[in-house]
A and B are shown apart, each in its own frame.
Chain A
Amino acid sequence: MTGSIFESEKIKEDFPLLEREVNGKPIVYLDSAATSQKPIEVIDRMTDYYKQINANVHRGAYHIAELATSEMEETRTKVSRFINASSEKEIVFTKNATEAINLVAYTWARTQLNEGDVILLSSLEHHSNIVPWQQLSSERNIEIRWIPITQDGQLDLSSMDELLADVKLLCVSAVSNALGTINPVKQLTDAAHQVGAICLVDACQSVPHFKTDVAELGADFLAFSGHKMCGPTGVGVLWGRLDLLEKMPPFLGGGEMILNVTSDGFTTNEVPWKFEAGTPPIAEIIGLGVAVSYLEKIGMEAIREHEQNLTSYALDLLNDRFGDDLIIHGPGAAVERSGVISFSYRDIHPHDISQVLDQYGVCVRAGHHCCKPLMALLGVNATARASLYIYNDESDIKVLADAINEVGKIFS
Chain B
Amino acid sequence: MPGLEDLYKEIILDHYKNPRNQGELSVPPAIMEEGFNPLCGDEVKVYVLTDGDLIKDIRIDGQGCSISQASASMMAESVIDKTLEEAKNLIERFKEMMSVHESNMDSEELSEDNDENSLGDLQALKGVVKYPVRIKCATLGWNTFDQIITPGE
Contacts and interface: CB of A to CB of B under 8 A. Distances in A.
Interface of A: 23, 349-352, 355-356, 359, 366-368, 372, 375, 381-382, 406, 409-411
Specify which of A350, A352, A359, A368 lies most central, judged by the most chain B CB atoms within 10 Å of its CB. A352
B40 interface: yes
B40 A366 contact: yes
Contacts of A349: 64-66
B4 A351 contact: no
A410 B134 CA distance: 17
23 contacts: A349-B65, A349-B66, A351-B40, A351-B64, A355-B4, A355-B134, A359-B1, A359-B4, A367-B39, A367-B41, A372-B41, A381-B40, A381-B41, A381-B42, A381-B43, A381-B63, A382-B40, A382-B41, A410-B4, A410-B8, A410-B13, A411-B13, A411-B66
Given A355-B134, A411-B13, A350 B7 contact: no
B2 interface: yes
A129 B54 CA distance: 49
Interface of B: 1-4, 7-8, 13, 39-43, 63-67, 131, 134, 137
A120 B58 CA distance: 45
A94 B102 CA distance: 37
A38 B13 CA distance: 38
Interface majority SS (helix, strand, loop, mixed), chain B: loop
A352 B65 contact: yes
A158 B3 CA distance: 51
B3 A359 contact: yes
A410 B87 CA distance: 32
A288 to B, nearest CB: 29
A350 B40 contact: yes
A351 B131 CA distance: 12
B40 A367 contact: yes
B40 to A, nearest CB: 5
Contacts of A367: 39-41
A356 B65 contact: no
Contacts of A368: 40-41
Contacts of B1: 356, 359, 406, 409-410
A411 B1 CA distance: 11
Contacts of A356: 1, 4
Contacts of A411: 13, 66
A406 B2 CA distance: 11
Contact of A351 (B2, B13, B43, B137): B137
